[in-house]
Every structure is written in C-alpha cells, then in structure tokens.
Structure 1
Amino acid sequence: MPNTPPRQIPEAQPALDQLVPDPLVAKEFGGVSLMTLYRWTNDPKLGFPPPVKIRTKNFRSRLAIEEFKARMMHSAVSQRVLTK
C-alpha cells in the first residue's frame, strides 16, 4: 500500500450570509408591507436589521434576520413568563 497522508477533516467554516430582498423579508414576517419594514428599520428600540442597498433595491442579511427573530422570540417568551 502506498504511503498516503492521513485524511484531514475540514475545519468548520462560518455560515455564509445571504442577502434577502425586502419583499421576501416582508412575506417572512406575515406579509407586512414594505412601509412596515421601513418603519421597523427607523425604530432604534426595535433593532431591526438595516438594509443593504444595491441600486434602488433593499436587501437584508439572512444572519441578521435570523438573529432578530431569535431575539424577538426570546423577548416574547420572557414577557410571557413574567405575566404568569
């Protein structure tokens, strides 16, 4: 058998981010309007992910959207526990 080097296990790579167009983001949040996304973006208390503008289109980071959803879910669960 020839002398072959041991197989190397690839290191975990960070998740690649994707840009999601605002109309798809709006659908993910229950079909809200693009104006609602604009309002959420301009509400500093909410912390909605900022848009990435490419020409005249707005996109959002997939990772930032998922982080926002997790934060909102955690906040909702925490509030629910406090009211019981």
Structure 2
Amino acid sequence: MQNTPASSPESTMLIPARIVRAELGGISDMTLWRWLRRPDLEFPQPVVIARRRYWRRTDLEDWKRRLDTG
C-alpha cells in the first residue's frame, strides 16, 4: 500500500503556537491573534486541545506556499 500525503505522519503533525510563531519569524502572540482574525490573510485556524492551539503542518505549509505564489 502506498503512503499518500493525506495519510503521512507529516500531514497530521500538530505544531504548537510557540513553534508556529518562531517559524514565522519570531512573531508575537498578539500578531498571531491578529492574523487569525484577518479574513484577507486566510491564515489557517488552529486545532484547540485542552485550551492550547495547534496547527496542522500541512495547513501552514499550504498557507506559506500561497503567499509565495500570490
């Protein structure tokens, strides 16, 4: 059976907010909060687990790709 992107471990990997902020250039939590509330940015919405925010790795990579091409 072939490993499809939808079932690969990377596609389901959840990244905590602190890592997301660091990967996006060391942005503040307030900047991340603002980006989440700007519909024109289309920033991916987090998955909330036990009141903590996590992002799917694939959602973040897709968003970055759209920024580079758009």
TM-score, normalised with respect to structure 2 = 0.86
Deviation at 1:19, TM superposition (A): 0.6
Q: Give the secondary-structure state (helix, strand or coil) at the position aligned to 2:43.
A: coil
Q: Which residue of 2 aligns with 1:12?
A: 3
Q: Larger C-alpha radius of gyration, 1 or 2?
A: 1
Instruction: Kindly indicate which of the two structures has a greater share of residues assigned to helix.
Output: 2
RCO comparison, higher one (Cα < 8 Å, 6+): 2
RMSD (Å) for aligned C-alpha atoms:
1.1
Among 31, 51, 64, the alignment partner of 2:59 is 64
Opposite residue 19 of structure 2, the aligned amino acid is: L
Alignment coverage as a number of residue pairs: 66
Among 12, 30, 34, the alignment partner of 1:39 is 34
Query: Percent same amino acid at aligned positions?
Result: 36
| Counterpart check, 1:27 vs 2:22 | yes
Structure 2 residue runs without a partner (length 5+):
none
Among 67, 73, 77, the alignment partner of 2:68 is 73
